[in-house]
Structure 1
Amino acid sequence: MKLGLIGYPIAHSLSPWIHNQLLDRHEMTGAYQLYECETDRFANKVEEIKAENINGFNVTVPYKEQVLPYLDELDEAARFLGAVNTVKVVNGRLIGYNTDGIGYVASLVDRYADAVDRSKRVLILGSGGAARGIFHAIVKQGVGKIDLANRTIEKAQKLIDDFAAHSVSEALSLQEAEDNLAQYDLIIQTTSVGMAPNQEQTPISLSGITKDTIVSDIVYRPMKTDFLKEAEEKGARLHYGHGMLLHQAIYAFQIWTGKSTDASVMMEAFEHKLKGV
């Protein structure tokens, strides 16, 4: 198998570690490599990768939308979301998929079996690509109440409007969300707030949450963000971002190879890798 990742910058990506572990676990020969390229070389890089007879590749920022014109086919999620993170090459044809949302939900349910059902009330912080993918995947789980809070309410409303036929949702300011946290069972932080170099920042205060609320942060470096630390102090149940990273990779690997993997058998080693152990 010949696999890889295209994006910029990606020098410190954990994807090679994850996928080479998956290849070893399934006793498959091959390798996963990085194809880092700046924006002005993206079109050429896609052609170069295709010419290498690659079996599949992942796509990360800033190219998840930019890659669309180079693909021959999209699956339902990728078409609806307008973004691709996984490409399978079949007889020279490039087929695009998006495993971010389903990877997120799988990681969430893997940790808390009761996390998503029709009775749950969900708040998503942010309205970018990650929020869109997660919103889509949670809607498909049958969750009826999913609100979005964003610095720009109009952007949150635009995302909600795209899902109008599937969910009862409200667009909120961050302050409005902060003032009404007690009504939510699950709070999902999808922005880059909390990542280096802004590790001490949080998008909102969690002073109003109720005990046992599930608080999720898709940031995985650091593993326990200040947002999650505050949630822990309030008695919340925590969901860490690295679970999404591992599960979406496992789904991508399954698309390429047909091989399924139990994430739990890799989680401990992956956490040690993240911690530098």
Structure 2
Amino acid sequence: MEKVYGVIGDPIGHSLSPLMHNHSFAIENIQAAYHPFLVKKEDLESAVRGMKAIGIQGFNVTIPHKEAIIPYLDEVDALAAEIGAVNTVVLRNGAYVGYNTDGIGFVKALKQAIREVNVEQKKVLIIGAGGAAKGIYYSLLAEGFTNVDLANRSVERARQLISGSTHASSSLSNAYSMEDAEENLNQYDILIQTTSVGMSPRREESPLTLEKLNRQTHVFDIIYNPYETKFLTLAKEKGCSIHNGIDMFVYQGAFAFQLWTEIWPNTDEMRKVVINRLGG
């Protein structure tokens, strides 16, 4: 009997997850189908109950439900609980268990891009202090990164994000304004842009200027549509190695797929089908 998986959110029609996961099910010869489900905020609790009742084996969670879904799950993984957001749910022994694969998906993408010994010792600056920044920050600390700072328009929000972590190395983290970050970019080996600046309709905007950036810095933007944001274009003009958000998207999906099936999927195939859809 075919197993059913899916993704819930509002809006949901833009999601590339069905394309990526159904392609992976076909490659692995798994009798399963992955569907997008439009779920309004006010319907979230009843939607989760209904999905469990009809035996949906697992699903992804996207905006605006990543935080709101937690009270309606039977169990939440420790890292997801610390982040305060769930993007992957697994039906296990009749219970819905929540995980967060966004942050670990980014860390996997980063390590694939920077294949260096002791990459965890490099100095990192995260731009932004929203949900994506929080997931990446906590996941970097969990993976052993010890020099991670944050820059945000609201420095207080960045401080709150840092103080919410239980990892000892968070005591080494600093919170900066965007202006202070711009002046000190030459201190960092890795720069990670997590805000929505650069997405349509703000495609010609960058969250900060990169005049002080070293050409040796690895620059990441978690946006993947457009394929190259203004932020990445500016970094490329400085001679930096640039990386968009496609690999983070692929690896967060791969970790979810593994949680559902106990199989690590072909990430090259996942990446190819996403890039083809985006016209890359």
Match of 1:121 among 114, 120, 123: 123
Mapping 1:96-245, distance limit 5 Å? 96-114=98-116, 117-163=119-165, 165-167=168-170, 168-245=172-249
Counterpart residue number, 1:68: 70
User: What is the CA–CA distance in structure 2 between the aligned matches of 1:147 and 1:180, rounded to whole Å?
Assistant: 11
Q: What TM-score comes out, normalization by structure 1 length?
A: 0.96
Match of 1:56 among 52, 55, 58: 58
Instruction: Evaluate the alpha carbon distance shift between residue 19 and residue 78 of structure 1 in structure 2; reply closer, same or farther with a 3 A threshold.
Output: same
Moved more, 259-268 or 80-89: 259-268
State the secondary structure of the residue aligned to 2:124. Answer: strand
User: 1:266 offset after TM fit, Å?
Assistant: 3.2
User: Partner letter of residue 193 of structure 2?
Assistant: Q
State the secondary structure of the residue aligned to 2:196. Answer: coil
User: What is the CA–CA distance in structure 2 between the aligned matches of 1:239 and 1:141, rounded to whole Å?
Assistant: 20
Structure 1 segments of 4 or more deviating over 4 A?
A: none
Match of 1:248 among 248, 252, 259: 252
Matched-pair contact (CA < 8 Å) for 2:192–2:220: yes
Moved more, 88-97 or 2-11: 88-97
User: Partner letter of residue 150 of structure 1?
Assistant: N
* Alignment partner of 1:20 is 2:22: yes
Q: What TM-score comes out, normalization by structure 2 length?
A: 0.95
User: What is the CA–CA distance in structure 1 between the aligned matches of 2:48 and 2:117, rounded to whole Å?
Assistant: 38
Q: Deviations over 1:153-203 (max 9, x none)?
A: 000001111236223111000010011100000000001111111111110
Matched-pair contact (CA < 8 Å) for 2:127–2:150: yes
User: Partner letter of residue 4 of structure 1?
Assistant: G
State the secondary structure of the residue aligned to 1:221. Answer: coil
Number of residues of Structure 1 aligned to a counterpart in Structure 2: 276
Q: Once superposed, what is the RMSD of the aligned Cα atoms? A: 1.4
Percent identity of paired positions between Structure 1 and Structure 2: 43
User: Partner letter of residue 198 of structure 1?
Assistant: R
User: What is the CA–CA distance in structure 2 between the aligned matches of 1:161 and 1:115, rounded to whole Å?
Assistant: 29
Listed as ranges, the gaps of 5+ residues in structure 2 are none
User: Partner letter of residue 157 of structure 1?
Assistant: R
User: What is the CA–CA distance in structure 1 between the aligned matches of 2:143 and 2:59, rounded to whole Å?
Assistant: 27
Q: Deviations over 1:122-177 (max 9, x none)?
A: 00000111111111111123221111000100000011112362231110000100
Listed as ranges, the gaps of 5+ residues in structure 1 are none
Matched-pair contact (CA < 8 Å) for 1:108–1:115: no
Match of 2:38 among 36, 53, 69: 36
* Alignment partner of 1:264 is 2:268: yes
State the secondary structure of the residue aligned to 2:169. Answer: coil
Instruction: Evaluate the alpha carbon distance shift between residue 178 and residue 60 of structure 1 in structure 2; reply closer, same or farther with a 3 A threshold.
Output: same
